[in-house]
Amino acid sequence: MWGGRFAGGPDEIMEAINASIGFDRRLAAQDIAGSRAHAAMLAAQGILTDKDAEAIREGLLTVLSEIQAGTFQFSTALEDIHMNVEARLIELIGDAGRRLHTGRSRNDQVATDFRLWVREQCDAAIEGIAALQKALIGQAETGADWVMPGFTHLQTAQPVTWGHHMLAYVEMFARDVSRFSDARARMNECPLGAAALAGTSFPIDRHATAKALGFDRPSANSLDAVSDRDFALDFLSAASICAMHLSRLAEELVIWSSAQFRFVAMSDRFSTGSSIMPQKKNPDAAELLRAKIGRIFGAQAALLMVMKGLPLAYSKDMQEDKEQVFDAADTLMLGLAAMTGMVSDMAANPEALRGAAGQGFSTATDLADWLVREAGLPFRDAHHVTGTLVAKAEAKGCDLPDLSLAEMQEVHGAITESVFDVLGVDNSVASRTSYGGTAPDNVRAQIATWKDRLG
């Protein structure tokens, strides 16, 4: 394939390390789309005849149909998807196929193909996240006023609602959508026509090929166009943060489904049993998702290592840009689908949630707020009084609402009977009406807003 420059073929080991067709065949559809746009532009510019352009168009469609049907014979000797497609095109249409590569290089070709593929993965991720958000909103709507403990340091902090907790993840994943959207917008420049690194002397129309492939514009610098892989790193960065959010939710599902918590029951579809303990129902889908996230983090680190020492423009090192991105994209989409299924199917236990919400002196902050609001204490004094009452209740082996008024007044005489109105968990969550707070009315309003946004 190298023509007159080399007298002999590559060593078998060189061929093995050099070939990428084993993985970059995934870019076949993008490669053919780019070639069709390139051929149409060459014809429009008078660089190719209309006859040759039509033969190329038909030939490329035949190649695509063979690949889709599984009848295409991929060759390691031809190294990559670009040369495999071109060689088969030449077999089909002869010399017209040899003219397709006019005004371009494999450097700008692969940069275009890969950018098209990653752009599609951004769209797929956004769609997958939206499905998960809808599942979370469904859970939030079901339990908008179910009371549960909110945690800090995994210790009971204050009561919140189940709906509020579910919506917290909706907000997290919304930021992931914005990151994928930003990455997509940034990568939507077309490298095709940058050629090897310096552009081309042929009178090509890069704006035409960019438009044909759905890009906003052609890339402005030919050196940067062929050497840039920031678009893949942008995708991996967004994927890593999204994956981290998936792992946090998976961790909560593992904890919540344990016998010690019993907050949720995972469906049989996303659980497994034990080979020796017949009572076990393990949240294996959540655990596996939690582990698979490391592959996405690793992909980002691997591509950063590939790119960090490369001078401009293209180096063969950059062939190692794809496998980890492919794997990360597959892992992310599997994780999103698995989490959507788990969230859709899981059954929350309102009784267990409520029982846990009242433990651990979860309404202590409500008592402190009451002392500020009703007794006129500075907050720091109210905090001290409340801490003393917590210690008193703890010594007695009861919760704050179980202390008598007389016992409370021993600590501070300004406490009245109305303090008991704020000590129940329902009263606590209902009072949190500040914007973004956990009050059920707030939750329902946010659910309505999100349902309108997601459609």
- Residues annotated as catalytic are 153, 274
CB 379 within 8 A of CB 368: yes
Question: Among the residues of 308-419, which ranges form H helices?
Answer: 323-345, 350-357, 364-375, 379-396, 405-411
What is the phi/psi pair of residue 228, to 5°?
Answer: -80, 130
Residue 312 carries which side chain, given as an amino acid letter? L
* Rounded Cα distance, 150 and 358, in Å: 11
- Tell me whether the omega of the peptide bond preceding residue 55 falls within 30 degrees of 0, making it cis: no
Q: Which of 59, 55, 31, 30 lies closest to 43, judged by CA?
A: 55
What totals of helices (H) and strands (E) does the chain contain, helices first? 20, 6
**Cα–chain center distance at 263:** 26
* Rounded Cα distance, 203 and 298, in Å: 43
* Rounded Cα distance, 219 and 313, in Å: 14
CB 424 within 8 A of CB 417: no
Dihedral angle, C-alpha 354, 358, 363, 364, nearest 10 °: -160
- The residues, any chain, with a CB within 8 Å of residue 372's CB and separated by 6 or more, are 378, 379, 382
* Rounded Cα distance, 132 and 110, in Å: 33
Give residue for tokens 């999100």: 450
CB 107 within 8 A of CB 194: yes
* Rounded Cα distance, 325 and 369, in Å: 51
Q: Which of 313, 315, 331, 314 lies closest to 323, judged by CA?
A: 331
* Rounded Cα distance, 205 and 193, in Å: 8
